[in-house]
Structure 1
């Protein structure tokens, strides 16, 4: 059976499930030293990319048939091209790199292109409209937390290490890890034309660095939705694309009146004491 893993946001997970080939988000070891990748990759990638490339060059993904990357994320897109060239020149093997050309510009031509690319992928995977409809599900309703909520925005974390610090301080984290971002479904219910419906949902999904949503407005909305009693904006050194949003986010935080902590230019692996700073904020609020 064909197995396709995912590596990026805004991907058509329902289509992969309808095809019976969804292998989940691409796994990698956060503590790995990417010595193989260093020969091919410069430093301006997000930190997960050299780890994935190192696993790939070591043959750790050879059990997969393909990996689906995303045009909605610069690092995902660039890594797709790196791997395609390395495989073309015989310097890498492994699964076939694929890219889903999801367009995020808020205009009809972008939505139409996304639909075209979705239909092309469906044809490649032999997914019918009926099969896709069976895989479509509406948005899940979140369950209210028993503990006070701490909302974390910014860069998706590599794992639960920040969430664990929040839980240990007596708060419920509302945050997104990288694997969760790479697994997020675009909310979409069954429709007469499920390909058009899913393409519209993917085009509108405000996940990923190339989304045209207003991050400050999205954060204010999430504060209201979650009734957050604390907010942490955590953004890593390499996440340069979102840095210019920070002034508007600061204004939104001040207007919300919610206690908050802004951590920028941080270490993705959490080796700079970010968890301790978050703990200090939350324990101070709990007194």
Structure 2
């Protein structure tokens, strides 16, 4: 392993001396720039497929993406450590239901140690009326964070946070592009994204700059290159299983990988434009399986697959994650390479028989796929 990769910290742990209050957040539609500008350490919450999630399942009900069950259970158990605030985005039905349950628990169960919780409802339609709606939600979150922290979120702090997070996103894109030359595995890239998003932006930029300088001299990683679509991945277990089986994930279109950093906010010329720039960035964020059209997903997937030189398209869909299968036929047709779909997979794992069939399909000639 490269020295820079080995130096990446565990994502849930703050660096020594980082005493900022912690803002937990759920979903890719939370404007992390506002969390940083308000003086918080953003921490995106992940589930754990190895832990019992029965408490969360009981409260949220069945038939829901198991990631939400795990996140709620871990919140109730205090697994994330002290959280000063919690911001949830409406990026999917599971996240929305999680917010409602958390809000009700705070109301009826004061003995349960849960932080103040706020919902950010970002819509993704390409209309100016949608922009005005999202702008109102950005302003609402800014006001709420100022009330929680005891001081308004100033324009200077917000402008600095926008520049800092854009820089991190740009460096993460540069690291991701090195996957075209096979300089790091998909498993390694997920670790890089998680660590970079948990560090202060300045420190994250330092580590990422070192990676961008170091990785081009690394020997290419082995494996059959594939683009991964379908469900998002809040841990590395699925990627590790795929790459142990001889694949190499060179790109993905979920919001914990390439899709998370595909757009910048851009520094507006005047402070009055900061909130609008944030609203437009998160409105245009995607295209995600839950919030975008089938045609948008197919076009994006095909473009990213060919940009990275992937030889196959692999779909991975967790049980009760209902959106990705609707996209699959169009994605497969647009990709024009051998493709395989793993459906109804257990959270954080792959059925071995399904994986064997997928491996065979991915190695077929393109005209036989």
Q: Shorter-normalised TM-score: what interval?
A: 0.7 to 0.9
Equivalent of 1:263 in 342, 363, 367: 342
Equivalent of 1:98 in 118, 121, 129: 118
Higher relative contact order (CA 8 A, sep 6+): 1
Say which SS state the counterpart of residue 50 (structure 2) adopts.
coil
More helix by percentage: 2
Q: Could you tell me how far 1:109 is from its partner in structure 2?
A: 1.3
Map residues 20-99 of structure 1 onto 2, 5 A cutoff.
Answer: 20-61=39-80, 63-90=82-109, 92-99=112-119
Q: 1:209-234, CA deviations, whole angstroms, 9 ceiling, x for partnerless residues?
A: 44234211111111122221222111
Say which SS state the counterpart of residue 178 (structure 2) adopts.
coil
Q: Which moved more, 1:21-30 or 1:214-223?
A: 21-30
Change beyond 3 A, Cα 1:179–1:151? closer
Report the TM-score when normalising by structure 2. Answer: 0.68
Q: Which moved more, 1:150-159 or 1:241-250?
A: 241-250
Partner of 1:187: 264
| Structure 2 unaligned residues grouped into runs of 5+ | 1-19, 147-151, 183-223
Q: Which moved more, 1:5-14 or 1:132-141?
A: 132-141
Deviant stretches of 4+, over 4 Å? 176-186, 274-285
Equivalent of 1:272 in 345, 351, 362: 351
Whole-angstrom CA distance in 1 between matches of 2:94 and 2:344:
17
Partner of 1:116: 136
Partner of 2:239: 163
Partner of 1:133: 159
Size of the alignment, in residue pairs? 282
Say which SS state the counterpart of residue 228 (structure 2) adopts.
strand
Change beyond 3 A, Cα 1:259–1:109? same
Q: Could you tell me how far 1:60 is from its partner in structure 2?
A: 3.3
Say which SS state the counterpart of residue 23 (structure 1) adopts.
strand
Q: Could you tell me how far 1:281 is from its partner in structure 2?
A: 5.8
Partner of 2:26: 7
Partner of 1:212: 292
Equivalent of 2:178 in 131, 138, 144: 144
2:65–2:94 Cα contact (<8 Å) kept:
yes
Say which SS state the counterpart of residue 132 (structure 2) adopts.
helix
Change beyond 3 A, Cα 1:97–1:181? farther
Q: Could you tell me how far 1:177 is from its partner in structure 2?
A: 6.8
Q: Which moved more, 1:46-55 or 1:161-170?
A: 161-170
| Structure 1 unaligned residues grouped into runs of 5+ | none
Say which SS state the counterpart of residue 104 (structure 1) adopts.
coil
Whole-angstrom CA distance in 2 between matches of 1:49 and 1:259:
32
Q: Which moved more, 1:52-61 or 1:82-91?
A: 52-61
Whole-angstrom CA distance in 2 between matches of 1:101 and 1:226:
33
